[in-house]
Amino acid sequence: MTTATLATTRTTVPDRVLAEEDLIITKTDLQGRLTYCNETFLRFSALTEDEALGRPHNIIRHPEMPGGIFTLLWQRAQAGEELFAYVRNRGLDGVGYWVLAYVTQSCDVRDGCKVAVGYHSMRRAPRAAAIPEVTEVYAKMRAAEVGSSRKAAAAAGLEWLTHYLAERGLTYDQWVWELEGR
């Protein structure tokens, strides 16, 4: 199925669910193009390795994901900070799947200096009980993103989320770990 076909495909198929032992691993270059993916990624994304490598990681972005989450992810990763985030992806076959994603920089040491060369992500099954709340919060973020350019929309969604969590005395990280029961 091509990316263009996927964009117009509507599915009523239930989401795939990661098993507890499933671990999705990917690496990208600094522009977000896939440079490595494991077999679990290929299985959930419905891609072959040849189809995946060199493509933007956002090829699996689910249309229900708010842009503000990716703004937060990129801000943190580019600053050399780690982030755990709830992400709903969609395979090229149109089937969605939720993950708890860990994202960080990949670095090399060159001339004694640490240099970012890309990004590394490991994803596992999120706590199932967390998904209804995450879905509700992300829907409200998407509502805050409507009617703006892509960049402005993502900023508006992230601003809404930051305010929502601040009212509850939480950061995004604290919210994730609260939902995960840690």
pLDDT digits (tens, 9 = 90+) for 147-168: 888 899 999 999 999 999 999 9
Task: State if pTM tops 0.85.
Answer: yes
The answer on pLDDT for 176 being more than 90 is: yes
User: Is 73 part of a structural domain of the chain?
Assistant: yes
| CATH for 34 | 3.30.450.20
SS3 145: helix
Determine, yes or no, domain membership for 158: yes
pLDDT in tens, 22-72: 999 999 999 999 999 999 999 999 999 999 999 999 999 999 999 999 999
| Helix, strand or coil, per DSSP, at residue 74 | helix
Whether 9 maps to a domain, the answer reads no
- pLDDT reading at 7 higher than 90: no
Terminal Cα distance for the chain, rounded? 40
The residue among 123, 50, 52, 46 whose CA lies nearest residue 83 is 123
| Domain total of the chain | 1
Containing 113, the helix (H) or strand (E) segment is strand 113-124
Give the domain extent around 150.
16-179
